[in-house]
Amino acid sequence: MSELHGNFSQNLKNIGTVGRSLSTWLLLLVPLSAAIGALCAVFLWLLDWATQSRFHYPNILYLLPVGGAAVAWIYARFGGTSDAGNNLIVDEIHTPSAGVPLRMAPLVFFGTIITHLFGGSAGREGTAVQLGGSLASTAGKYLHLSNAQTRLLLMAGVAAGFGAVFGTPLAGAIFALEVLAVGRLDYAGLLPCLLASLIADWTCHSLGAHHTLYHISYVPPASAPLFQHPLLLAKAALSGVAFGLVALIFAEANHKFGALMKRLVPFSPLRAAIGGCAVIALVWIFQTRAYLGLGVWSAIPGDPTISGFFAPSTDYWSWALKLLFTVVTLSTGFKGGEVTPLFFIGAALGHALAGLLNAPTDLFAGLGFVAVFAAAANTPIACTLMGIELFGAANAVPITIACWVAYTCSGHHGIYLSQRIATPKH
């Protein structure tokens, strides 16, 4: 029993060490995460402003080539390594080297606002993650932290940005761990990421930022809680295959088309200008502006939006159009994230599949919302938690099935090329 006592007091000592290191982390993480959360609140507010401005002045779209070229020129002139974006952050977490430059924060912040003001089709998670990573890396350099500490701080910064910008702190914490490698979740950083994500989300909320609420009214019959309809779950799995394939198309198209454009047009401002013109051409060809911007709001009532896909309709192709608009925007160098367009593509595809499979529209829109992103970012567990955070626990089983099947079907190269492959999918 003395050995038990010895072991136990050893463990108590360990907890003392953890406690001390925790206080240090608290002193460091609380202000950093609060700052990232506050920046995300301003960012969300400015995105809202940019989108409303575009709705008020539709002709601003014709400045998209100019806006894109200007941002690309600024990046080329002053950006340094900033242009690598999320990939630089993932790389710095894996093998800390020169760090993430502080200038990445203002560049991606204003670059994304310009994309959305002039009508590019893009997202916001990349921006939030880069804000978090850039601030965290700078804090680490300023405080002369070790590589291991900087790594944790960077992960916490990613968690804070992600958790705050989507209002999903649990998904944010897991995302920061899960995005680093395909097929493996390593628990180093579990608590710092959770703390950072919660504080950033809380700050963002406290400053009055609102997240669109999505509602799935479908609930499985109460007779057998949680797991009821094998047929419905089979449909969720089948849809998961489609979600995974579309995520694969999205990621591959972005990479290949981006590489092709870089080869054909090495001068980045010209590339962005061409991309802007292409987006304008797409608006002319398809005679709609519904696929510009985030896709969260629409200027014309009845135009497709993410929340609109939660109600039945006969819209079968919005997912493909949004994919096209987004690939053209992002692969020509516009700034912004991939995730909100992936939410749109997923919700639209789930909406369409619900019609084909005779399944509840709201549920399948929700499944697509999280599962296409799960597959494209190779983050099935973060997206399962995001689905539960956004839509509640009643449909946790189909959400999990859709996310995990989609992840299994999307190949090994997701939207983040610097992600390592730890455990192949098959």
Given the rule CB under 8 A, which residues bind a copy of itself? Answer: 1, 3-4, 7-8, 11-12, 14-15, 17-18, 21, 167, 169-170, 173-174, 183-188, 190-191, 194, 198, 201-202, 205, 213, 224-227, 230, 233, 241, 245, 248-249, 252-253, 256-257, 260, 380-381, 384-385, 388-389, 392-393, 396-397, 400-401, 404-405, 407-409, 411, 422-423, 425-426
Nearest distance, CB of residue 412 and a copy of itself, angstroms? 9
Q: Which is nearer to a copy of itself, 91 or 201 (CB)?
A: 201
CB of 253 to a copy of itself, least distance (A): 7
Q: Give the residue carrying structure tokens 């399944």.
A: 359
Phi, psi of 420, rounded to the nearest 5 degrees: -85, 160
Nearer to a copy of itself, 60 or 249 (CB): 249
Contact in structure between 208 and 167 (CB atoms under 8 Å): no
Closer to a copy of itself by Cβ: residue 16 or 312 = 16
**Smallest distance, Å, CB 259 to a copy of itself?**
9
**β pairing state of 181-182 and 420-421:** parallel
| Residues facing residue 421 across a β-bridge | 182
**CA pair distance 240, 349, nearest whole angstrom:** 11
- Residue closer to a copy of itself by CB (options 240, 333) is 240
Q: For a copy of itself, which is the closer residue by CB, 258 or 355?
A: 258
CB of 40 to a copy of itself, least distance (A): 14
For the bound state, the minimum distance from the C-beta of residue 135 to a copy of itself, rounded and expressed in Å, comes to 21
The tokens of 331 are what?
A: 């692969």
Distance in Å, CB of 425 to a copy of itself, minimum: 7
- Kindly tell me the sign of the dihedral angle through the C-alpha atoms of 292, 280, 63, 301: negative
Helical spans, DSSP H, in 57-143: 64-78, 86-94, 104-118, 125-142
Shortest separation between residue 191's beta carbon and a copy of itself, angstroms: 6
Distance of closest approach, residue 21 Cβ to a copy of itself, in angstroms: 7
Which structure tokens are listed for 328?
């053209």
Based on CB atoms, which residue is closest to a copy of itself, 136 or 247? 247
- Toward a copy of itself, which CB reaches closer, 226 or 356? 226
**Closest to 58 measured CA to CA, from 324, 286, 290, 330:** 290
H/E segment holding residue 152:
helix 147-166
CB of 117 to a copy of itself, least distance (A): 29
CA distance 387 to 381: 10
Nearer CB in complex with a copy of itself: 224/300: 224
**How far is Cα 348 from Cα 305, in angstroms, rounded to an integer?**
9
List helix spans (H) across 358-410: 361-377, 380-391, 396-409
Of 14 and 53, the one with the shorter C-beta distance to a copy of itself is: 14
Rounded Cα distance, 55 and 290, in Å: 11
Closer to a copy of itself by Cβ: residue 38 or 63: 38
Sign of the CA dihedral running 393, 242, 336, 213? negative
CB of 269 to a copy of itself, least distance (A): 24
User: Tokens 């962005």 identify what position?
Assistant: 272
Distance of alpha carbon 231 from alpha carbon 238, whole angstroms: 10
| Phi, psi (degrees; rounded to nearest 5) at 85 | 60, -135
Residue 220 near residue 229, CB atoms below 8 Å:
yes
Angle at 107 between CA 25 and CA 378, to 5 degrees: 65
Quote the tokens at residue 140.
Answer: 């680490």
What's the min distance (Å) between Cβ of 226 and a copy of itself?
A: 6
